[in-house]
Chain A
Amino acid sequence: MRKQSCEFQTDFLTEAGTLNVNKDYFAFAELDDFACYVIADGLDSDEDNESAEMVVHHIFEAFMEKPTMSRRKLKSYLMNAHKLLKEASRNVRLKVSLTMLVTDYSKIIWLVAGNSRLYHFRKGIFNFRSKDQSIAQMLLNSRKITEAQINSHEERNNLNNYLGKLNMFKPYISRNYELKDGDVMLLCTAGFWENMFDYEINNAVHSLNEPMELIDNLEEMLLERQNEVVNNYTIAAIFAKKVFPENKLFNTQFKETLKKFAVVVLPMILIGLIVMFVNRKINDVKQRELAKIQAVKKRELAKLSAKKNEEQHEKKGDQLVAEGEFAAALNEYKAAREAAELLKDTAKMDSNKQKYEITKMINDADGYFSSKAYERAMNGYLDAKVKAAAFPEYDKKELLKKLAKTRDYIKVIEIAREGENALARKEYTTAQACFREALRIAKSVYFEEMKAELENKLNDTDSRQTEQAKEDHLFKGKLLESRGDELVQQKRFDDAISSYNKAKMVYQELKMSDSILNINTKIKAAQEERDKKFLWIFPNN
């Protein structure tokens, strides 16, 4: 409720001048804590749109919803109004020059876009005025014209900024300005000030104490000139007879001390912070550098040890290979390869890999050999031989020996198998020859297992052969015996007896006493029959 503790008086006047329409617009609101005054001058010739009124309404809508002294917010109100105006430009480009004054009854802040003006008077004397955004003001700023010339200068209405501008809209926003009791503020459009000298306005303000009186006086001065053309003009006077008393202690002494304190301490804190920050940054950088160096060292060391490792493993592997310890060598080569991988030494990686493979082949082949898979063993040895040609670490002679041994073993097995086949066909001599050959080779390569087996087989063959011979003989004897029987039937006793005798010889050879006795009986019987026959021929003998 700041308004109750102060006294503000406001009055205004807006006229079309000699023109048929008035495109100026003024509005103000004095709320409990804030007051806002907006003066606007429509610059376009659009007959359908009251551009100034539209803009002012839009600003007031925003301000009434959220009254504020925040520069940022006030600027956003203005920017939104500008956007609205741009969007509302349908036929012609809508343009508005505008000045906005906001107060919390102890300070003021003002925003300018274009050449509507705020005049400020203190103790009845001109204090300052807002700067226009026009070419004339630019000329004044660069001291090409004087303050007295600007009001009537031909470029006064040539604006470089206004609401509705197509691009690069940039309003001016003042800092807070403290009010004092008795301050007078005058808002006016170009239609008014272009016909006046600033000193004339000053004189009027100096002599008059009521806003309405002042405005009437100013209008009179304007019309007295009897200009043929008078543009739309608007004047608003705000008399701050008593401003809101802020807490003086806080406002003056305390504020001053605070200011001094801040001036001294804040930079110190700032510098301290900067120093701390910089220090930390430097430390960070240093530590990062150190960490980097350590990481590099570590990597180097790891590399070195890996290299050493690799060399050791490879050497050990080679040694083991030379000793024929292939299974152990495998592990060494594997380790060497892993070390080479760490080193990213592709050449070493490759060589170790190949060595590993060769060693594995030999090792596997040895395994096959001992598990009697000689064919696979031989293939393994052959592959290993081809691969190992490029590596001097491998004893080629040893490998060849192994290969020869395996081949001989295979040969022994093959010949033995042939012998078996012959045996099955009862070709005992062939079988014997095979077994003997196999045995010879087995003996030469110390194939002990096969050697014993072959010897057994040979013996077996021999015995089976003699048996067979016996059987054959017996069969012959039996055949002769049965032939003798047949001849007896045919009464060819002599022939029968000779056949029986032959059979008897066979039985005697085979020492078959039963058969001999039997045949003897048969011979005797045959002889008796033969004799009977002769009796029949020669009955008297």
Chain B
Amino acid sequence: MLKNFVNSVKSIINRPEVLIGYAQILGKRKEQEDSFATFNNDFGVLGVLADGMGGYSNGKMASSTVVNAFVSEFAKIGNPESLEDFFINTANLSYSKVCEKGKGIQTGTTLVSVIIHDKNLYWTSIGDSAILLFSNGELINLNKKHIFQAILEKEYVMGNITKEEMINNPKKKRLTSFLGYDGFRDIDICKKPIQMRRGDKVIICSDGVYNSLTEIELETVLIRNNPPMKTTAEIMEMIETKNLPDQDNATIVILEKR
């Protein structure tokens, strides 16, 4: 009796600081090229997601290499001076590993990674996967996507191309930065950590999620305030019911601050 009570008290005290939910679907593709992982240690919680490309098993190889590199580096993180360095170093490390394993094959992967340390959220992003923050009923996009459209927009503002050329460019969704054979041109790292409040959710997902669902649709699921595991399942269900003809691999990870 007393033991049960003590155990229940202990479980309340040791309740996880962060609740985790994740889900993944194959879509209409033959291969699952997305990889993801979450990792929890004394320092905090890591979430990492990579969307590989290159066809056949190369995409999967690239994405899982990056995810593994992040997990193993985070496992021995200790007390770093700045997480910015951690992100850059680990990105470089995983880049070289991908190149090594790829042996000259044209392959690559996007990367989004978040770390919740105390109440602070840190993030980094390469490519077009998304990091979103759902706080107080509002969905906020945290990262910029490294796609050709961004360059086109600049060109348009400079007056080098017309608006039509900008809008109708077929390559506008092309990645301009990714971890792969070509070296990564751009890496986005949060300038300042974001203070997370109880109930705030950080969402990382591949483009297979945000291209299939609108922001409002995501919002309607998130606002129900279900546990993350249920939320991710509901989101995937929503995508599957849409049954889009060209559904990409879709992966989502949600970390909820308690």
Task: Determine if A18 is an interface residue (Cβ-Cβ < 8 Å).
Answer: yes
Contacts of A90 in B (CB 8 A): 214, 216
Identify which of A20, A45, A91 contacts B156 (C-beta below 8 A): A20
**B216 and A91 contacting across the interface, CB-CB below 8 Å:** yes
**A19 and B216 contacting across the interface, CB-CB below 8 Å:** no
Task: Determine if A262 is an interface residue (Cβ-Cβ < 8 Å).
Answer: no
Contacts of B215 in A (CB 8 A): 91-93
The smallest C-beta distance from A373 to any residue of chain B, in angstroms, reads 85
Which chain B residues in 103-145 approach chain A with CB under 8 Å? 137-139, 141
**A20 and B216 contacting across the interface, CB-CB below 8 Å:** no
Given contacts A19-B157, A20-B156, A20-B163, contact A167 B137 (CB under 8 A): yes
Which chain A residues in 12-69 approach chain B with CB under 8 Å? 16, 18-20, 45
Task: Determine if A166 is an interface residue (Cβ-Cβ < 8 Å).
Answer: yes
Given contacts A93-B219, A166-B138, A167-B137, contact A20 B214 (CB under 8 A): no
Which A residue's beta carbon lies closest to that of B141?
A45
Contacts of A45 in B (CB 8 A): 141
The smallest C-beta distance from B73 to any residue of chain A, in angstroms, reads 30
Contacts of A513 in B (CB 8 A): none
The smallest C-beta distance from B165 to any residue of chain A, in angstroms, reads 12
Which A residue's beta carbon lies closest to that of B216?
A89
**B137 and A20 contacting across the interface, CB-CB below 8 Å:** no
**A93 and B166 contacting across the interface, CB-CB below 8 Å:** no
Give Cα A165–Cα B138 distance, bound, in whole angstroms.
8
Task: Determine if B234 is an interface residue (Cβ-Cβ < 8 Å).
Answer: no
**A20 and B157 contacting across the interface, CB-CB below 8 Å:** yes
Task: Determine if B207 is an interface residue (Cβ-Cβ < 8 Å).
Answer: no
Interface size class of A (residues with CB under 8 A): 10 to 19
Give Cα A369–Cα B139 distance, bound, in whole angstroms.
104
Give Cα A89–Cα B219 distance, bound, in whole angstroms.
11
Identify which of B139, B156, B192 contacts A93 (C-beta below 8 A): B139
The smallest C-beta distance from B109 to any residue of chain A, in angstroms, reads 25
Task: Determine if B84 is an interface residue (Cβ-Cβ < 8 Å).
Answer: no
Contacts of A166 in B (CB 8 A): 137-138, 219, 223
**A93 and B216 contacting across the interface, CB-CB below 8 Å:** yes
Task: Determine if B153 is an interface residue (Cβ-Cβ < 8 Å).
Answer: yes
**A92 and B137 contacting across the interface, CB-CB below 8 Å:** no
Give Cα A19–Cα B192 distance, bound, in whole angstroms.
24
Give Cα A165–Cα B166 distance, bound, in whole angstroms.
31
Which chain A residues in 185-244 approach chain B with CB under 8 Å? none
Which A residue's beta carbon lies closest to that of B215?
A92
The smallest C-beta distance from B19 to any residue of chain A, in angstroms, reads 22
Given contacts A90-B214, A91-B214, A166-B137, contact A20 B153 (CB under 8 A): yes
The smallest C-beta distance from A42 to any residue of chain B, in angstroms, reads 15
**A92 and B214 contacting across the interface, CB-CB below 8 Å:** yes
Give Cα A20–Cα B166 distance, bound, in whole angstroms.
10
Contacts of B214 in A (CB 8 A): 90-92
The smallest C-beta distance from A450 to any residue of chain B, in angstroms, reads 97
Give Cα A45–Cα B153 distance, bound, in whole angstroms.
14
- Residue interface mask B134-171, A partner, CB < 8 A = 1: 00011101000000000001001100000100100000
Contacts of A154 in B (CB 8 A): 192
Contacts of A16 in B (CB 8 A): 157
Which chain A residues in 403-461 approach chain B with CB under 8 Å? none
Contacts of B192 in A (CB 8 A): 154
Give Cα A154–Cα B194 distance, bound, in whole angstroms.
13
- Residue interface mask B156-194, A partner, CB < 8 A = 1: 110000010010000000000000000000000000100
Given contacts A20-B156, A167-B137, contact A92 B216 (CB under 8 A): yes
Which B residue's beta carbon lies closest to that of A158?
B140
Which B residue's beta carbon lies closest to that of A159?
B138
Which A residue's beta carbon lies closest to that of B153?
A20
- Residue interface mask A162-196, B partner, CB < 8 A = 1: 00011100000000000000000000000000000
The smallest C-beta distance from B67 to any residue of chain A, in angstroms, reads 29
Contacts of B153 in A (CB 8 A): 19-20
Which B residue's beta carbon lies closest to that of A95?
B138
Give Cα A89–Cα B220 distance, bound, in whole angstroms.
12
Give Cα A19–Cα B163 distance, bound, in whole angstroms.
12
Most buried by B among A20, A89, A90, A93: A20
Contacts of B139 in A (CB 8 A): 93
**A18 and B216 contacting across the interface, CB-CB below 8 Å:** no
The smallest C-beta distance from B48 to any residue of chain A, in angstroms, reads 26
- Residue interface mask B200-217, A partner, CB < 8 A = 1: 000000000000001110
Contacts of B156 in A (CB 8 A): 20
Give Cα A92–Cα B138 distance, bound, in whole angstroms.
11
Give Cα A223–Cα B138 distance, bound, in whole angstroms.
33
Which A residue's beta carbon lies closest to that of B213?
A91
Which A residue's beta carbon lies closest to that of B192?
A154
The smallest C-beta distance from A91 to any residue of chain B, in angstroms, reads 4
Which A residue's beta carbon lies closest to that of B163?
A20
The smallest C-beta distance from B128 to any residue of chain A, in angstroms, reads 15
Which A residue's beta carbon lies closest to that of B139?
A93
Which A residue's beta carbon lies closest to that of B156?
A20
Which A residue's beta carbon lies closest to that of B152?
A20
Most buried by A among B141, B157, B192: B157
Which chain B residues in 27-65 approach chain A with CB under 8 Å? none
Contacts of B138 in A (CB 8 A): 93, 165-166
The smallest C-beta distance from A313 to any residue of chain B, in angstroms, reads 72
The smallest C-beta distance from A21 to any residue of chain B, in angstroms, reads 9
The smallest C-beta distance from B182 to any residue of chain A, in angstroms, reads 26
Give Cα A166–Cα B218 distance, bound, in whole angstroms.
14
**A18 and B137 contacting across the interface, CB-CB below 8 Å:** no
Contacts of A19 in B (CB 8 A): 153, 157
Contacts of B216 in A (CB 8 A): 89-93
Give Cα A165–Cα B223 distance, bound, in whole angstroms.
13
Give Cα A165–Cα B137 distance, bound, in whole angstroms.
9
Give Cα A234–Cα B109 distance, bound, in whole angstroms.
41
Contacts of B219 in A (CB 8 A): 93, 166
Contacts of B137 in A (CB 8 A): 166-167
Give Cα A89–Cα B223 distance, bound, in whole angstroms.
15
Give Cα A167–Cα B166 distance, bound, in whole angstroms.
36
Give Cα A165–Cα B214 distance, bound, in whole angstroms.
17
Give Cα A313–Cα B139 distance, bound, in whole angstroms.
89
Which A residue's beta carbon lies closest to that of B223?
A166
Give Cα A91–Cα B210 distance, bound, in whole angstroms.
11
Contacts of A18 in B (CB 8 A): 157
Contacts of B166 in A (CB 8 A): 20
Which chain B residues in 201-254 approach chain A with CB under 8 Å? 214-216, 219, 223
Give Cα A380–Cα B157 distance, bound, in whole angstroms.
121
Give Cα A92–Cα B139 distance, bound, in whole angstroms.
9
Sample 18 A-B pairs with CB under 8 A, ordered by A number.
A19-B153, A20-B153, A20-B157, A20-B163, A20-B166, A45-B141, A91-B214, A91-B215, A91-B216, A92-B214, A92-B215, A92-B216, A93-B139, A93-B216, A166-B138, A166-B219, A166-B223, A167-B137
Chain B residues within CB distance 8 Å of chain A: 137-139, 141, 153, 156-157, 163, 166, 192, 214-216, 219, 223
Per CB-CB distance, the 3 closest pairs between chain A and chain B, nearest first, are A91-B214, A92-B215, A166-B137
Known contacts A90-B214, A93-B215, A93-B219; can you find 13 more A-B pairs with CB under 8 A?
A16-B157, A18-B157, A20-B156, A20-B157, A20-B166, A91-B214, A92-B214, A93-B138, A93-B216, A154-B192, A166-B138, A166-B219, A167-B137
